[in-house]
Every structure is written in structure tokens, then in C-alpha cells.
Amino acid sequence: MDRPQPSSPILLFDSGVGGLSVLAALREVLPQAPVIYAADIAGLPYGTKTEAEVAARVCGLLGRMAERFHPRLICIACNTASTIALGMVREVLEIPIVGTVPAIKPAAAITRSGTIGLLGTEATVRQRYVDDLEARFGNGHVLLRQAAPGLVEAAEAKLRGAPADPAAIAQSVAALRGQPGGEAIDTVVLACTHFPLLRDELAAELGAGVTLVDGAEGIARRIAALTEGQAFARDRADRAITTGSIEDFRALAPAFARHGIGDLAAF
Ligand code: DGL
């Protein structure tokens, strides 16, 4: 690929607002990088869809977005989309693609009890990709996976200014803890980019002895490494685009503004 223009954006893609947890980490390492935040709100949630549905949406949308915006790099800031479609997207697009996959490796280095919990979407927890990560990096520890679709909705609501539903938090944590051996969990992988947006609520519910781990900082470092030496010019507020209704999207304006995004548009 030719050297990107300084104004060429990094495109962050998620089904909804989850990718903002990745954007926050990216701003720490690359504050000057222009960003387009793409939310497939018309397809939200991904976690209850089939593999074929997620793959078709993600490949189709990213192809069109790459043509329209010429990003220097795409980050699939969504575990569900990454664990299903990362390989396919890399095959069809010629720009660097960074995925978001469950942070099992760092969790395995942290746990002292040897029991790790993993909260993700229904689709993520059943992926072979996660089986492979567990086999390669789980270090022989017990990994208890729990689908927590209510947390996606709670995070979406929270960023639209509503309180995060305490019942959804309590129910997800109780289901994880209620698995055989679940009382020994001392480390929890937040394997959905929406969940770090509920970090305080989840930490309070899980209790003081539990460490929460997500992949955002590692992803930001990876993006910085892949764009090292490139020039960046972020001379205006960044843009967020939605595949859904622009009226609904405007309810997220304050949350986007907190992440340096001031221009909301329909895709
Ligand atoms: N943020 C997405 C993830 O990381 C999932 C949310 C959804 O179900 O669409 O998996």
C-alpha cells in the first residue's frame, strides 16, 4: 500500500457503541490519529446472529466503507465480528486489519486461583477461535464462559444517558458464578467491547477479589505498531457513522463528544 495521506483515517467498526472502549485506549497512544467510528446499529446485536449472518454483514459493510473512506487501517472493535470474520475480511481487503479477540493470554498470566471467567456474547462464547485461544494461551487453567447478552443492551442504554440496568449486571454475574467451580473465579475476561463500558458496575457486582481484563490497550498498541512512522493530521472533530437511524444515533452525541467525535452521519 502507498504511504497514507496524513488525513487518512483509522476506521473503527462495531455493531454499536462497544468500540468506544477501544477508541479510548487508541486516543492514549495515538491522539493525533483521525478516526471514523462506524456502528452497524441496523445489525445490532451481533451476538444473537448466526455465523453466516455476521460474516456477510461485516465483510459487505467493511468493503463498502473501505472504498468510500480509504482508511489506512481498519480495527474490528468487536469480539463477535472478529472471532467469526477476521480471516475473511483479511482475505478480501488489502489494508491492515486489526481484530479484537478475547484477552485469555493476559488473564492466564494474572489468575492465582487458576479459574478464569469469560463474559461474551452468545456467538463469541461458542467460537472455535476461542477454543483455540484457550488451548494455546489458557495455560491449563479452567476457563468458564458465559454468554451475557443483557450487558450489550445495558451498555447501549448507559451511553444514551439511561442508567445501566442493575438486573442485567446481577443476572450475568450470577450466571457466571453459578457455573460449577465458578466460586473460584478471580479473573474475568471482558470478551465483548461493550463490557468495559460497564467496568465499574461489573467490578462492584463481582467483588474486590476479582480482576477484570480486556484487550483494548493491547489493540491500541498493535495499531500504533502497524502505523509507526506514518504522518497523522487530525485537524477537525472526528466522525461517527451509523447504518441505523440518525435520530437514534444523535442520542449518543454526548458519549461521542467525550471521545472527540463531533460529527454524526448516516452511512
Ligand atoms: N461489541 C460486540 C462484541 O465485542 C458485540 C455486541 C453485539 O452483540 O452486537 O462482541
Q: Where are the domains of the chain?
A: 10-100+217-266, 104-214
Q: What are phi and psi of 8, to 5 degrees?
A: -65, 125
Of 7, 70, 79, the residue nearest 235 (C-alpha): 7
Which residue out of 66, 78, 118, 133 is catalytically annotated? Answer: 78
Q: Is the CB of 99 under 6 A from ligand 1?
A: no
Distance between CA atoms of residues 40 and 27, nearest Å: 22
Q: Matching CATH topology for 10-100+217-266 and 104-214?
A: yes
CA 179 to chain centroid = 25
Domain 104-214 belongs to what topology? Rossmann fold (3.40.50)
Active site residue 75: no
- Could you say which architecture CATH assigns to the domain 10-100+217-266? 3-Layer(aba) Sandwich (3.40)
Alpha-carbon separation of residue 184 from 149, 177, 196 (angstroms): 23, 8, 22
Whether residue 222 contacts residue 98, with contact meaning beta carbons closer than 8 Å, is answered with yes
CA distances in angstroms from 173 to 53, 80, 242, listed in the order given: 28, 20, 31
Q: pLDDT tens digits, residue range 188-214?
A: 999 999 999 999 999 999 999 999 999
- Measured CA to CA, the distance from residue 200 to residue 220 in angstroms comes to 21
Please tell me whether residue 142 adopts helix, strand or coil conformation.
strand
**Ligand 1 pocket residue status of 4, Cβ below 6 Å:** no
Q: What is the pTM of this model?
A: 0.96
Q: How far apart are CA 9 and CA 36, in angstroms?
A: 6
Model confidence at 152: pLDDT above 60: yes
What is the structure's pLDDT at 1?
A: 57
Gap from CA of 17 to ligand 1 centroid (Å): 9
Ligand 1 proximity of 15 Cβ (cutoff 6 Å): yes
**Does 225 score more than 80 pLDDT?**
yes
